[in-house]
Amino acid sequence: MKNNLIGFLILITVCGLWNCQPKQSEEIKQPNILFIAIDDLNDWVGALEGHPQVKTPNIDRLAAKGILFTNAHTQSPLCNPSRASIMTGIRPSTSGIYNLSPHFRDVSLTRDAVTLPQYFQQHGYKTLSNGKIFHSLGNTPDKRTDFEEWGPIGGGTAGHPPAKLVGDTHMGNHPLLDWGVYPAEGDSVRNDYKVATWAEEKLGQLAQSDDEKPFFMAVGFWLPHVPLFATQKWFDLYPEEADIVLPPAPEDERVDVPDFAWYLHWYLPEVRLSWLKANNQWPNIVRSYLATISFTDAQVGRVLDALEANGLADNTLIVLWSDHGFHLGEKGITGKNTLWERSTHVPLIFSGPGIPEGVKTNKPAELLDIYPTLVDWVGLPEKDGLEGISLVPQIKDVNAPRERPAITTHNPGNNSVRSEHWRYIRYANGAEELYDHRSDPHEHRNLAGDPSMKTVIADHAKWIRPSDAPHAPGSQHRVLEQVDGAWFWEGNPIKWEELIR
């Protein structure tokens, strides 16, 4: 006992001289961030049950290890405005960025915005990126300030076959409007494969680095964006003889849809369902979309495996998202550019230290919420000016109340409001749609004209602003605007008799 007492007194004395407190870095170690973006992926993910035949084992295992927001929606059904909103934390209806141009650094409201990775860099994170994160990288050095390190690939598919696999398509025969088996022996020639390889290598380097900084790594995959090319092995997952399940698209499903809905996708490279049927391409494009999803899922799996193999998984927060959805014949069209579920509904998963595992919530979520959620979860100072709401309350308790529904905007004045059970749409001319997702998940019956729905409509309409910001200067591509009382699509007057159905 006497010896123990002497040892204890010596320990107290030594600690008093040398301050035996654990270092701050040992007490609080902020998690790394792995930020995975996928382009044009709708809810055809196994965990979301969007298509009965889809095979996404890696995204599904990520969902099983974290929380899946089953009712997550984009702020815009188009790449540039969606990604600008996610990265700046500002709505399209505030910034005026609704179209494929301009770059957000060319818009006065967002020119000096501190983007999500920049904010983490300001608070001690090492930031690096490869693949498609922003819609475009920007053509000047001042537009490439968001990451400390940029990988060599900004997006794209890394080449096309010598001739289009599906031949000429209507509405412009755009080179991106193609799908089918890519004529190559292996996947290593594809850009998304190269992005995953870069991520594997970087994660290995970060694990061996003496730099104590946590990292924010953004990894962006292009597919299943058109062209829908994948090598034969991915098509073999969906053999033609398996009778590919086509999405529900009744002939009359636009009978009760306002005519103005056509204005949002008046004339686009993306083909109509009528063209797919006439050219016997509907099963082929659905199969191609499924194959490219599975290819992308495999690349996600490679990144997740590298995170685990390098001992980084236990201290890395992962967020996986898609910028918007994609139609494969629903409502008579393909592509995005709508305010319906198929175009707005996206995967959103958070996984990592402290995140509950295998949890799902149907509370509405917005991609706009990613920025404040990551800031909140990591414990950084609250960022002023963000228009999203942290999802941390729902991560901690799936039944926690949500302050508002999810709002999607496509060109000024066209808005969708998605709550737990309803979707309400109001177009710029005042036309309306309302769908009850409990009984009509595919949005085939418009209830907006039902007098008994007035209260439901009012409850949702209150979330739509009296007016949206006008188009930002330099807006181009898929621009819908009213000039002197007439509606114009990409600078040309809309003439109903010229509609391509």
Catalytic (active-site) positions: 79, 135
Q: Percentage helix, strand, coil, to 5, in the chain?
A: 35, 20, 50
Sheet containing strand 480-483, edge to edge, reads 480-483, 486-489, 492-493
Q: What is the CA radius of gyration of the chain?
A: 24
* 168-196 burial code (b ≥16 CB/10 A, e <16): ebeeeeeeebbbbbbebeebeebbbbbbb
Count of all residues that appear for the chain in the document: 501
Is the previous residue joined to 183 through a cis bond, with omega within 30 degrees of 0?
A: no
Helix (H) or strand (E) holding 12: helix 2-18
Q: Closest Cα partner for 88 from 291, 387, 334?
A: 387
Judged by DSSP in three states, 128 sits in strand
Helix (H) or strand (E) holding 72: strand 72-73
Using alpha carbons, list the distances in angstroms from residue 284 to 30, 45, 130: 46, 19, 30
DSSP H helical segments within 253-318, as ranges? 273-278, 282-309
- Pull the structure tokens for residue 437: 């997702």
DSSP designation for 30: P
Using alpha carbons, list the distances in angstroms from residue 434 to 252, 441, 451: 17, 12, 12
Neighbours of 471 (CB within 10 A): 18
Neighbouring residues of 222: CB distance < 8 A, sequence distance ≥ 6? 39, 131, 132, 155, 156, 157, 191, 192
The answer to whether the CB of 168 falls within 8 A of the CB of 156 is no
- Pull the structure tokens for residue 69: 């927001």
